[in-house]
Amino acid sequence: MTFNIETAGRRLDKKFAQLRTKSYLSGEIIDLLDAVAHLQLDARPDARVTLPADAELAPREAVLQGAPLVGRERFPYDADQAEALLGKLVALVGRGDGPLADGAKIVARALESGSLLPAELFERFMRDDHAFFAPWTERMPGAPKTLSFLAFAALSPSIEAAADELAEKLPEMKVPAVGSCPLCGSLPLVSSLEQVEGYRRATCSFCRHDYRIKRVACPVCGEEDQQKLTYFTVDEEPGFRVDVCETCKTYVKTLDFRKLDRIAVPVLDDLDSLALDYVAAGQGYRRATLSAWGF
């Protein structure tokens, strides 16, 4: 599907208007994420990525068995765009108040002094290098994910553009053997039920690729025993449910808008359904991934 910036912009605006009605989300946070999302949207059409040669991609049979086509650590992105966007995001977040803004100011000083280099930051993020980010989380106890949030926000437009191109190289397959993303190997951010049959699709937590997964299976550990898989809903959050696995004690939120007049924007629907995260955590389950915004 060709990316359409006008359509994407209308979807963002409609979703943010809906989010502003949520009592548990502060207006300041919504304003910030609105500005970040639109910065990313404006950057998306200008992303320039170079895909790996076909010979460097995972073989067809390996992908059909669950191997990622590329893998997160080798995923292509536009380094120049990400660096420029990082500067804008640091300035934007730093203008606010609170722990997140304080963290952005620490990052700004590090970038200015040269003690933090954008190229190294992006490389470490792509490799999911926890050891690199650990000292930064200690420096920002009020908002420990600030640096990774900024890095991911800067990289996302070109990562998503690369995912669109790489998706065309995937082999034909009805349902992947595993629940992880066939492009990068990351776990789902959220899943959704679509069409009358209730086909289950997932949105990748890293590259945002949309792909089919098994309807009755844990996308994290692969459990298929229906006695160990269940879900719950909350009356106050129609259109959302939480699929939980008793084997690995993780959960994935699932959107079911088939009978509702609502459009899906997974990264914002994840935030819209934040109340369900509190309920799931209270019952002893953990998220398979961080939220779309690094929370």
Q: Are residues 138 and 253 in the same domain?
A: no
Q: What is the mean pLDDT of the chain?
A: 94
Q: Are residues 137 and 281 in the same domain?
A: no
Contact between 183 and 168 under an 8 Å Cβ cutoff? The reply is no
Domain that holds residue 138: 5-167
Is 294 inside a domain boundary? no
pLDDT in tens, 53-110: 999 999 999 999 999 999 999 999 999 999 999 999 999 999 988 999 999 999 999 9
Is 228 inside a domain boundary? yes
pLDDT in tens, 156-195: 999 999 999 999 999 998 888 889 999 999 999 999 999 8
Is 84 inside a domain boundary? yes
Q: Are residues 159 and 15 in the same domain?
A: yes
Q: Are residues 30 and 151 in the same domain?
A: yes
Q: What percent of the chain has pLDDT over 70?
A: 99
Q: What is the pTM of this model?
A: 0.94
Q: Which one of 135, 167, 199 terminates a domain? A: 167
Is 145 inside a domain boundary? yes
Higher-scoring residue by pLDDT: 21, 41: 41
Is 178 inside a domain boundary? no
pLDDT-based confidence at 283, cuts 50/70/90? Answer: very high
pLDDT-based confidence at 262, cuts 50/70/90? Answer: confident
Cβ neighbours of residue 225 closer than 8 Å, sequence gap 6 or more: 247
Tell me which DSSP letter residue 59 carries. P
Total tally of structural domains belonging to the chain: 2
Q: Are residues 144 and 222 in the same domain?
A: no
pLDDT-based confidence at 295, cuts 50/70/90? Answer: low
CA 286 to chain centre: 16
Helix or strand or coil: residue 7? helix
Q: Are residues 40 and 123 in the same domain?
A: yes
pLDDT in tens, 99-145: 999 999 999 999 999 999 999 999 999 999 999 999 999 999 999 99
